[in-house]
Structure 1
Amino acid sequence: MGKGKKVILLLLVAIMIIGLVACSSSNDKPNKGESSENTDKKQKIVAWAWDKNFNVAALEEAKKIYNKDNPNVEIEIVEIAQNDVIQKLNTGLSSGTTSGLPNIVLIEDYRIQTFLKAYPGSFKELTDVVKYDDFASYKKDFMTMDGKSYGIPFDTGSAVLYYRKDYVEDAGYTEADMQDLTWEKYIEIGKAIKEKTGKHMLSIDPNDIGLFRIMMQSAGKWYVKEDGSTPDFADNEALKEAAAICKEMLDTGIAKTHTDWAQFVAGPNTGEIASVPTGCWFTPSIMAEKSQSGLWRVAPIPKLSKAKDATNASNLGGSSFYILNEIDGADVATDFLVKTFGSDKSFYETLLDKHGIIATFIPVQSGDVYGKEVEFFGGQKIYSDVSELASKIPSVNYGLHTYAFDDIMKAEFQNIINGTDIDTAMQNAQKQAESQVK
């Protein structure tokens, strides 16, 4: 072999060796969807959520914690209205065009079953990744379909009764009287407060039936039966009792009407409203009126008297985080959520201490932060009290039609207010609901 040919052969061998080394090196690095650990490659994930003082604030705290150990992951948090989240997700997932969608998205608990059913395979399964026993059981049920779980539970919508201790005492009742209430007893106290102080016991928006949902779930009932699809109006004793109670509160004059959120918040803040039965997320709104510090207390909601299995625990609202499967970075997004929202006790203590966010992560509830006395509520340990209630919330299957059935019930409640018999109204609602799900 000539000298020139030997040189060429040596060059070819060298090129082959370099190629093999390069391939080996690239195979050692994680793909786009894998955890950022042990790589210098910059990776980016995007999260969508609404409410900058609550959900977005929680994501920002999680980002700070995660980036300490994972500085090469860029986490972009986008504040986006809940209705826009729903619209954009539906548009992208139904068309199969996922461009522009995030890795992580916050979805309301009432809506998640609809997404899981409509877009199978679009959300990352986390059954064996998240320790669901660390969360309130009712939250896991929302995000589970066919035995597989898909989200990381977040906040609690535990329903509570905020009440003015001074108004209650002016009417001749005590704090002990506000425990283990029935709705009948609540109305009785409301009448006494109205007579003695001139204040309304609560305010109601006839076009917002959140109270109906609170009362139904407190008895383990919903607009649908346990299968999540069969409408349940005509024979739903909890729903009928809820309608009767709300009508009585309006008829007796203990309820003042409001038409929007601003009026709802203004009621207790101006001192015109003696109590607010709603989700615990209302705490910052109550505390916004600092001049009322020491006057408010928190009790469990009243319970239904006629409905079977009625309790003093329920839920209103709440949401959880989900990961989109088909977006690059799904595994990094999973790593981020699991190491923060999925398992970090100190992270949840920070959320409560700095932002007043009460979550459904059970291990944190025995900590000092949850057990602290809150001066605004007369030194009551409201966070531990709310957390205890969360553990007692009956699980229900929200199914796929909560908001559509909400609209039906709103219209029928207006008819009830105007004199329609409750049984007749519920039979009408049953027919409308059945026609929608055919």
Structure 2
Amino acid sequence: MKKILYSSLILLSTVALVGCGSNGEKKKETSKKNDTETVTAWAWDPTFNVKALDEANKIYSSDKKIEVVPSSQDDIVQKLNTALTAGNKEGLPSIVLIEDYKAQGFLGSYPEAFEDLSDIVDKKDFAEYKFGASTGKDGKIYGMPFDSGVSGLFYRTDLLKEAGLKDEDMTDISWKEYIEVGKKVKTKTGKNLLSLDPSDLGPIRIMMQSAGEWYTDKDGQVTIEKNKALKEGIQLYVQMLKEDVALSVSDWDSGVEALNTGKVVSAPSGSWYSSSIMQAKDQEGKWKIAPIPTLTTVDSVHASSIGGGSWYVLKGVGDTKKAKEFLKETFGSSKELTNVLVKEIGLVSTLKAAEETENYQAPNKFYSEQKVYEDFSEWMNEIPTVNYGKHTNEIEAIMTEFVQRAIGGEDLDALLKEAQSQVESTIN
């Protein structure tokens, strides 16, 4: 899924979610009646998951389509937490997209809030790793798998050539070698290798998972202080900024703009990022995608994940029967929809049947005739499985500050020790 500003969740007043006025009781009854007849879906990226819902509506057999409501991911998370904590679902959607990192937090905190989807989701039809996030403690499946967060190294072939480099210089390399490429690109072209937003630790997550590591271990114990993959990831992150290999940006839109206008020549990111890259129609045939780089201080592979999400149905909100029918008919089984989404938004689906579709198998003109979806599928099967646990969001809210302090020059070992203590006291 796409960039998130990791901050502590601040509960909004429930009044903001409830209608008011002298005839509030009548309005409440009318709203409740309408809710039982409608299906509303929340998602956050107009070029990706929102558009996926719009396309799903087109192939959905019902005459009455679902209502798609775009929002920001931060707003969605905040409103869900506010309403579910208060036990008031009024104003919430029937269907909501939740990022894999956050799923266990919601399922653990609000175990009675979500519909069991075990009757419409067959595990054998999807990539196995998706169910670690969407399965409850009771063993039931609560999420309809959507996109894979499989990572790749997107790069501009024309700008690399201008710097005297070839595809081989970006393929099966380490992060240290990637930085050396960036130095050559900067010297020859004046452009940066990539953009980094110091409030977004996505690249560090990619690095950690490629080594099978996370902020916590499989039992949920905090592993920050002695986590070699995390330490190297932060060191590389700081190095790219300090040596001017990376362009520092302030938000998501600035990062996309830097790519679309040729200020930077590459982006290590999730497969879903393709929809943003492909906005620059004039760059068709000037892009390729290589496997993600590896770490050097620990064993890691050229495969990792960032983001990715599943569709969830809130219990008792709107027409839940229709909501489940919609998901089963579209994202749960439709090759037709998957074939369209591959072309329209660059979706790397976790539905195994996607590999049988025409567009999935076809060379991609935008990416220099590379069969990118076949490559993504291969890398997806090599992603090390890690336990994201319930607290990734809270941990990253803390770690963002420590990474910024590392960028400022503080001793990293001391920072990791302090971070370990602070995270433990926060989540335990």
Scaled by the length of structure 1, what TM-score is found? 0.84
Residue 281 of structure 1 corresponds to 272
Answer with 282-291 or 207-216: which moved more: 282-291
Confirm whether residue 59 of structure 1 aligns to residue 73 of structure 2: no
Residue 116 of structure 1 corresponds to 107
Residue 20 of structure 1 corresponds to none
2:47, 2:276 within 8 Å by CA — same for their partners in 1? no
Confirm whether residue 368 of structure 1 aligns to residue 345 of structure 2: no
Deviation, structure 1 residue 128: 4.5
Partners of 2:194 and 2:318 lie apart in 1 by 49
Partners of 1:170 and 1:75 lie apart in 2 by 48
Question: In the TM superposition, what are the counterparts of 1:164-313 in structure 2 within 5 Å?
Answer: 164-227=156-219, 229-308=220-299, 310-313=300-303
Answer with 78-87 or 370-379: which moved more: 78-87
Residue 427 of structure 1 corresponds to 417
Q: Deviations over 1:81-105 (max 9, x none)?
A: 3233223322332222233332211
- Aligned AA (1:221): E
- Aligned AA (1:285): S
SS in 1 for 2:347: coil
2:363, 2:369 within 8 Å by CA — same for their partners in 1? yes
Partners of 2:71 and 2:405 lie apart in 1 by 36
1:200, 1:274 within 8 Å by CA — same for their partners in 2? yes
Give the direction of change, closer, same or farther, for the CA distance of 1:271–1:233 in structure 2 (3 Å limit): same
Of 401, 404, 408, 1:414 maps to 404
SS in 2 for 1:145: coil
Answer with 325-334 or 422-431: which moved more: 325-334
Give the direction of change, closer, same or farther, for the CA distance of 1:88–1:362 in structure 2 (3 Å limit): same
Partners of 1:427 and 1:171 lie apart in 2 by 41
Confirm whether residue 125 of structure 1 aligns to residue 119 of structure 2: no
2:207, 2:295 within 8 Å by CA — same for their partners in 1? yes
1:137, 1:395 within 8 Å by CA — same for their partners in 2? no
Partners of 1:276 and 1:287 lie apart in 2 by 13
Which structure 1 segments of 5+ residues have no match?
1-41
CA RMSD of aligned residues (A): 2.0
2:57, 2:66 within 8 Å by CA — same for their partners in 1? yes
Give the direction of change, closer, same or farther, for the CA distance of 1:87–1:206 in structure 2 (3 Å limit): closer
Deviation, structure 1 residue 212: 0.8
Residue 146 of structure 2 corresponds to 154
1:171, 1:189 within 8 Å by CA — same for their partners in 2? no
Deviation, structure 1 residue 234: 0.3
SS in 2 for 1:181: coil
Deviation, structure 1 residue 388: 2.5
Runs of 4+ aligned structure 1 residues displaced above 3 Å come to 169-173
Partners of 1:407 and 1:90 lie apart in 2 by 16
Deviation, structure 1 residue 331: 2.6
Confirm whether residue 163 of structure 1 aligns to residue 155 of structure 2: yes
Partners of 1:276 and 1:428 lie apart in 2 by 31
Deviation, structure 1 residue 74: 4.9
Deviation, structure 1 residue 370: 0.9
Deviation, structure 1 residue 354: 3.1
- Aligned AA (1:338): K
Deviation, structure 1 residue 320: 1.1
Q: Deviations over 1:240-271 (max 9, x none)?
A: 01011112222332222111223212222222
- Aligned AA (1:50): W
1:412, 1:425 within 8 Å by CA — same for their partners in 2? yes
Scaled by the length of structure 2, what TM-score is found? 0.86
Partners of 1:117 and 1:429 lie apart in 2 by 24
Residue 393 of structure 1 corresponds to 383
Partners of 2:309 and 2:166 lie apart in 1 by 35
Deviation, structure 1 residue 58: 1.8
Answer with 426-435 or 133-142: which moved more: 133-142
1:268, 1:274 within 8 Å by CA — same for their partners in 2? yes
- Aligned AA (1:101): L
Which structure 2 segments of 5+ residues have no match?
1-35
1:137, 1:391 within 8 Å by CA — same for their partners in 2? no
Partners of 2:192 and 2:406 lie apart in 1 by 22
2:38, 2:318 within 8 Å by CA — same for their partners in 1? no
Partners of 1:75 and 1:98 lie apart in 2 by 18
Partners of 2:45 and 2:179 lie apart in 1 by 34
Give the direction of change, closer, same or farther, for the CA distance of 1:434–1:100 in structure 2 (3 Å limit): same
Give the direction of change, closer, same or farther, for the CA distance of 1:200–1:50 in structure 2 (3 Å limit): closer
